[in-house]
Amino acid sequence: MSITPQNPVAVAQSIIASFQTLPTIPAAATRAIQLLNGPDPDLSEVADIILADQVIAARVIRIINSPLYKLLHEVESVKQALIYLGPQKVFEIILTSCFLELTDSRTLAGIRPQSCWEHSFGVALVARNLAELSGVVKPEMAYVSGILHDVGEVILMHYRQDQFREAVQRSVERELDLHDAEREIFGTTHCEIGALLAAQWHFPELLTQVIMHHHADQMELKSPLIRVVQLADQICSDVRLKCSMDVEVPGVGAGVYGAHLPALEKQLAQLGVTDMDAFRKSLAQMVDHVKAAVQAIYP
Ligand SMILES: [Fe+2]
Ligand SMILES: [Fe+2]
C-alpha cells in the first residue's frame, strides 16, 4: 500500500488545531491593517484606532523613546509622537510592536528570535523601498507584508520548538531552504501555518496570499505584492538578515550581495528598478538601520 503524502494545508490545520491556546494579535492591529489596505487610508485615523489599546500605546511609547529615534525630548503620549514622527512612522512602530508581542527576547530552542525579527524588519524596509522605486504596489502594504510574511515561522518557533530547531539545523547542515526543511519535518511549512492564522485574524486577502505564496517558485499571475515581498526576502537572506541559530553567523557586510547577485538584479530590473548603485546604497543604509533597531529593542 502506498502512502500518499498529506496535503500541507490539512497538516497545517491539524497543527493549529492542536494548540492549546491560539496565538492572537491585538484586534486593534487587525483593524488598522484592514484600514491600511483600503483606498486612500488616513494614517492618523489608523494610529488613533490602534492607540486606543493601552498595552499597545505603552509599548509604542517605549520604542519611540528608545535610542533608535534619538528624540530630543521624551515623548509621553501618542499624540506627541504623532506630531514628532508623523503618522507613517508611528504606524510602523505600532506594527513592529505587535509583531514583537508574538516574539520574545529569550533564546528559544537554540534560535535567536532577534535574528527573525531582523529578517522581518529588513524585508519590510526593502519591500517598501522596492514599492517606492517601482510604483507597482502601495509602500505601506509592502511594509506590512514584509513584517508579517514569516509570521508562521514565529508560531512554529513558539509552539513546536524542538521540531522547528531541527528544521533550522537541517537547513543549515544540508543547505536547504528553511521551508523545504520544514516540509520534510512537519509535512507543511510556515507559509500554510501563517496563511491559515492570517485568515483567522481577518487579515486582508492580499496579505494572506503573500504569507501563503512568498516562497512559491512558479505561480502564474503572482500578484505584484507577492513579487515585491519575495524579492525583498531573497535580498535580505543574501545579506544575511535571516532567521538563524543562537550562534551569530558572521555577515558579509552591509551593501554586499551574496551569491545571487545576477539573478536578483535581473528581477529588480523586471520590477522597474534600474539604478543598481542607488539601490545598493539604500540597501546598506537599511541594513544598518535594522541592526540599530534590533540593538535598541533587544538591548
Ligand atoms: Fe518565509
Ligand atoms: Fe522571509
pLDDT in tens, 14-38: 999 998 887 777 777 777 777 777 7
Measured from the alpha carbon of residue 236, the closest ligand is 2
The alpha carbon of 22 and the centre of ligand 2 are apart by a number of angstroms equal to: 22
The alpha carbon of 149 and the centre of ligand 1 are apart by a number of angstroms equal to: 6
| pLDDT value for 252 | 42
The alpha carbon of 190 and the centre of ligand 2 are apart by a number of angstroms equal to: 10
The alpha carbon of 221 and the centre of ligand 1 are apart by a number of angstroms equal to: 20
pTM (2 d.p.): 0.82
| pLDDT value for 199 | 92
| pLDDT value for 163 | 92
The alpha carbon of 198 and the centre of ligand 1 are apart by a number of angstroms equal to: 14
Mean pLDDT of all residues in the chain? 80
| pLDDT value for 80 | 75
Measured from the alpha carbon of residue 243, the closest ligand is 2
The alpha carbon of 269 and the centre of ligand 1 are apart by a number of angstroms equal to: 23
Domains of the chain: 26-102 (no CATH), 104-299 (1.10.3210.10)
**pLDDT band per the 50, 70, 90 thresholds, residue 289:** confident
| pLDDT value for 215 | 94
**What share of the chain in percent tops pLDDT 70?**
80
The alpha carbon of 201 and the centre of ligand 1 are apart by a number of angstroms equal to: 19
- Would you say residue 11 has pLDDT above 90? yes
Among the ranges given (100-114, 156-170, 244-258), the one the predictor scored with the smallest mean pLDDT:
244-258
The alpha carbon of 130 and the centre of ligand 1 are apart by a number of angstroms equal to: 18
Measured from the alpha carbon of residue 213, the closest ligand is 1
Rounded CA-CA distance 149/233 in Å is 9
Contact by Cβ (8 Å): 96, 148: no
The alpha carbon of 189 and the centre of ligand 1 are apart by a number of angstroms equal to: 9
| pLDDT value for 100 | 64
The alpha carbon of 233 and the centre of ligand 1 are apart by a number of angstroms equal to: 8
Residue type, 110: G
The distance from CA 24 to its chain's CA centroid, rounded to whole angstroms, is 16
Question: For residue range 239-258, what is the model confidence (pLDDT) as tens digits?
Answer: 888 776 655 544 444 445 56
Among the ranges given (7-16, 73-82, 134-143, 165-174), the one the predictor scored with the smallest mean pLDDT:
73-82
- The Cβ of residue 234 has, within 10 Å, a number of other Cβ atoms equal to 18
Residue 209: name the closest of 46, 37, 81 by CA.
37
| pLDDT value for 182 | 96
> Among the ranges 1-5, 28-32, 185-189, which has the highest mean pLDDT value?
185-189
Joined grid coordinates for residue 90: 508611528
Measured from the alpha carbon of residue 241, the closest ligand is 2
The alpha carbon of 77 and the centre of ligand 2 are apart by a number of angstroms equal to: 33
The alpha carbon of 104 and the centre of ligand 1 are apart by a number of angstroms equal to: 19
Residue 98: name the closest of 161, 135, 55 by CA.
55
The residue ranking higher by pLDDT, 18 or 4, is 18
The alpha carbon of 114 and the centre of ligand 2 are apart by a number of angstroms equal to: 14
As a dihedral over the C-alpha atoms of residue 90, residue 298, residue 199, residue 176, rounded to 10 degrees, the angle is 130
Rounded CA-CA distance 141/48 in Å is 18
The alpha carbon of 181 and the centre of ligand 1 are apart by a number of angstroms equal to: 12
Measured from the alpha carbon of residue 179, the closest ligand is 1
Cα distances from 20 to residues 24, 91, 207, in angstroms, run 12, 31, 26
Give the mean pLDDT of 213-241.
87
The alpha carbon of 82 and the centre of ligand 1 are apart by a number of angstroms equal to: 32
